[in-house]
Chain A
Amino acid sequence: MKCSKYKKLLVEFADGHLDHLRSQEIRSHIEECQSCKKELDDLRSSMELMGNSILSDNPKTPEGFSTAVLDRLYQEQKESWLSRNIILGVAFVICLLVLGMGLFLNINSSKQRDIWIEHAQLSGTSIKAELPKKIVVSEFQAEQPKIIKKTTKSSVKNKNQQNQTTKVENAKSDEIMSIELIKLLNQTLEIIEGDEQECEIAI
C-alpha cells in the first residue's frame, strides 16, 4: 500500500477506530516511513491540544433556561392564536361586506326598474325620449342567463341551497314579467308613433 493510502487511515487509527488487522498494517508501515510517523505525531499532538481545550471549556446552561423556553412557547402560542383570530375576523368582515354590497345592488336595481316602469306608464309622451328604439324581446332574453348565473354565484357563497332555488325561481318570474312589460311598452310606442303620423297628415 502506498503512503497516501495509509495517510487516509491515519485519523481513524489515531482515534482508535480501525480494526485490529489494519491497525497492525499501519503500525508496521510507520516503523519504516518517517513521513507518515511525523504526520501521525502531529495529528496526535493536535488532538491532545483539542482534548485539553474541550476538557477545560465546558459551558454551563444559563440559569432559568427551561423556564425561559416555556415562557417563549406560551408567548408564541398566544401570538399565533391572536393572529389566527384576527385573520378569521377580517375574512368574516370582508364576507359580510361582499354580501351586503350584493344585496344593496340587487335591491337598488329592482327599485330603479320599478321607478322607470312606473314613470314610463304615467308619462306616455316622454316614453319616446327615454325609449329611443323598441326593445327586442329576444335580445332581452339573451341577457337573462347572466342574471340567473349571478344569482347562482351569490347563492353558492351563502351555501344555502334553498335560497338558491328560490332566487332562480324569482329571477325566472322576473324575466317573464319583464318580457310582458316590454311587449306592452312596445305596443304603447307603436300607438304614439301612429298618432304622431296622423297628426302630421292632418296638418
Chain B
Amino acid sequence: MDSKSDLELVRLCQAGDITAFDVLVRRHQERVYRLAYRMLGGSNEAEDVAQEIFIKAYKAIKKFRCDSSFSTWLTQIAVNQCINHCKKRNKIKLLSLGLAIKRRSSEPHAIAEHNEKREIVSKEVNSLSLKHKTVIILHYFESYSYEEIADILKCSSGTVKSRLFHARMELKDKLKPILEGDEWIGEKYEML
C-alpha cells in the first residue's frame, strides 16, 4: 500500500478503502500540521485543526476529480480550514498578543536573542492580514511556487505576486526595528 501513488490511493479511498486514507494521512500529515501550526501562529489548536482538515478531506474525497494533484487539493482544504478557524475565533490579534516576548534568564545570551528574533518574526507574520499571511506562509515557509499558490487559492498568479509584494513590504517595515538594534527590541516587546 505504501508504494502506491497518491492518485491510486485516492481511487481506493473513493471505493471505500479507509486503510488507503491512513497511508495518505501518514504521507501528508507533517506538511498539513506544519501549515496549520504556522497559520494559527503556533497555537495548540494546530493539532485539532490538522485532524479536522483530514476528516474534511476524507468526506470530500468522492468529489475529488483528480484534475489537480492530491497535495494541492489537500492544501486548498487546509488553507480554507485555517482561514475559517482564524475568522471564527478572531484569533489573529489574540495570538499575536499571546506571543509575549520575554528573555529567559537561564538561557545563554546568543540563544535567547535567536529565540527572540524567531518569535518576533512569527508574531509579525501573524499580525498580517489573512490574505497576506497565507501567501507568505505558502511561499516562504512551505516553498510553493506562484502557480501552485494560485491553484490553491483559486486566483491568478498575478494576484499572488501582488499579494506577496504588499505582504513583503509590510513585513519589511514591521521587521525594520529588529534589524536596527537588539536593545530596541527588548524595550518594545517586554511591554507586551
Contacts and interface: CB of A to CB of B under 8 A. Distances in A.
A-B interaction: yes
A161 to B, nearest CB: 37
Given A52-B118, A56-B114, A57-B122, A65 B175 contact: no
A51 B141 CA distance: 8
Interface residues of A, number: 30
A194 interface: no
A56 B37 CA distance: 14
B34 interface: yes
Contacts of A72: 51, 55
Given A12-B161, A53-B117, A56-B114, A73 B55 contact: yes
A69 B161 contact: no
B70 interface: no
Given A61-B30, A61-B33, A70-B18, A43 B168 contact: yes
Interface in A23-56: 42-43, 45-47, 49-54, 56
Contact of B175 (A12, A49, A56): A49
B178 A49 contact: yes
A66 B29 contact: yes
B95 interface: no
Interface string A61-98: 11001101110110010000000000000000000000
Contacts of B171: 46, 50
B74 interface: no
B18 to A, nearest CB: 7
Contact of A69 (B34, B54, B114, B121): B54
Contacts of A58: 34
Contacts of B164: 11
Interface in B101-124: 114, 117-118, 121-122
Interface of B: 18, 21-22, 25-26, 29-30, 33-34, 37-38, 42, 46-47, 50-51, 54-55, 58, 114, 117-118, 121-122, 125, 140-141, 146, 161, 164-165, 168-169, 171-172, 175-176, 178-179
Interface of A: 8, 11-12, 17, 42-43, 45-47, 49-54, 56-62, 65-66, 68-70, 72-73, 76
29 contacts: A11-B164, A11-B168, A11-B169, A42-B176, A43-B168, A43-B169, A46-B168, A46-B172, A46-B179, A50-B121, A50-B140, A53-B117, A54-B140, A57-B118, A59-B38, A59-B42, A60-B30, A61-B29, A61-B34, A62-B47, A65-B29, A66-B22, A66-B25, A69-B25, A69-B29, A69-B51, A69-B54, A70-B22, A73-B58
